[in-house]
């Protein structure tokens, strides 16, 4: 169970971070 | 200006998909964790909501890369090649998630992390192929010449053979991996309680992967712009 929740945490955190970094880099580049 | 319109359209699509991903990811996480445990597998059924969406997203991105490869090889569209180079890393990430969660799920249900059956081996081959292609396409000699880009686009199309083999492997060979639960002709062999979170996770993984790919594409297109063009904007 611990491994399962670690998996969820790791994968969802990576996806969320990827989205946040992508939004941040878009903001830096401007229109 | 047509190019300017393309860049604006790409920016709008990227922003829309990124915000959709931000909304969908927590929703699918909550839906997955609230899903009931399965009679035989118990709590380990939760791996379903990571393994299947990652595999579907990997194939979705690969299909889109193949369309990009055709676009580059036939019409020499530079944006199509840039799409391939943007999608390779998210596609490889999804392949790694599929392999990793598959191994952990396999240990819970089959009692082993790995068997050399047709499905697992062909998918491992696809993951290695994606890793090598991702490394190779970063080489300046492949990136900067038309011939090099042609080779990368052709290799993407060659890899389609393995994607087709991965899909058919559970039907052609006797494998430990189960045959597909979904088909176009028959109703799904899965209870509604599991289908709903699976559908949500698949959508959220796909939207996230497409959004990140789109953001990477925007960055690559922006990098190719001449500096005087950037100053004029």
Contact across the interface for B25 and A15, Cβ inside 8 Å: yes
| Cα B174 from Cα B117, distance rounded (Å) | 8
Q: Which residues of B touch A1 (CB under 8 A)?
A: 43
Does the structure show a pLDDT above 80 at B60? yes
Find the CB nearest A22 among B93, B101, B211.
B211
Express each pLDDT in B35-56 by its tens digit.
Answer: 988 888 888 899 999 999 999 9
Q: Facing residues of B38 across strands?
A: B42
| pLDDT(A2) > 70 | yes
Exposure string over B63-82, b if 16+ CB within 10 A, otherwise e: ebbbebbebbbeeeeebbbb
Reported as a single tens digit per residue, the pLDDT across B114-141 is 999 999 999 999 999 999 999 999 998 8
- Which has more confidence, B180 or A14? A14
Rounded to two decimals, the ipTM of the complex is 0.93
Tokens 């083999």 label which residue?
B165
Cβ pair B66, B123 in contact under 8 A: no
Separation between Cα atoms, residue B194 and residue B12, nearest integer Å: 34
| Percentage helix, strand, coil for chain A under 3-state DSSP, each rounded to 5 | 90, 0, 10
In this complex, the residue of B18, B25, B97 whose CB is nearest that of residue A22 is: B18
Judge: A4–B43 Cβ closer than 8 Å, yes or no: yes
Mean pLDDT of chain B: 92
């Amino acid at each position: 169970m611990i491994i399962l929740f670690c998996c969820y945490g790791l994968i969802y955190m990576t996806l969320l971070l990827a989205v946040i970094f992508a939004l941040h880099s878009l903001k830096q580049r401007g229109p | 200006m047509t190019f300017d319109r393309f860049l604006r359209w790409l920016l709008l699509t990227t922003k829309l998909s990124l915000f959709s991903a931000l909304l969908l990811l927590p929703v699918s996480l909550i839906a997955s964790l609230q899903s009931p445990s399965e009679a035989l597998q118990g709590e380990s059924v939760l791996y379903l909501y990571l393994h299947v969406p990652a595999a579907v997203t990997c194939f979705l991105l690969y299909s889109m890369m193949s369309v990009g490869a055709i676009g580059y090889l036939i019409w020499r569209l530079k944006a199509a090649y840039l799409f391939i180079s943007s999608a390779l890393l998210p596609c490889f990430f999804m392949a790694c998630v599929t392999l990793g969660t598959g191994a952990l799920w396999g240990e819970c249900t089959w009692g082993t992390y790995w068997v050399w059956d047709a499905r697992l081996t062909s998918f491992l081959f696809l993951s290695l192929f994606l890793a090598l292609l991702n490394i190779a396409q970063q080489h300046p000699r492949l990136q900067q010449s038309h011939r090099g880009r042609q080779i990368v686009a052709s290799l993407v199309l060659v890899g389609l053979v393995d994607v087709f083999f991965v899909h058919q492997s559970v039907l052609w060979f006797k494998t430990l991996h189960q045959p597909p639960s979904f088909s176009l002709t028959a109703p799904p062999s899965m209870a509604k309680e599991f289908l709903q979170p699976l559908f949500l996770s698949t959508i959220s993984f796909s939207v996230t992967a497409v959004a990140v790919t789109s953001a990477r594409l925007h960055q690559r297109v922006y990098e190719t712009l001449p500096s005087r063009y950037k100053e004029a904007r």
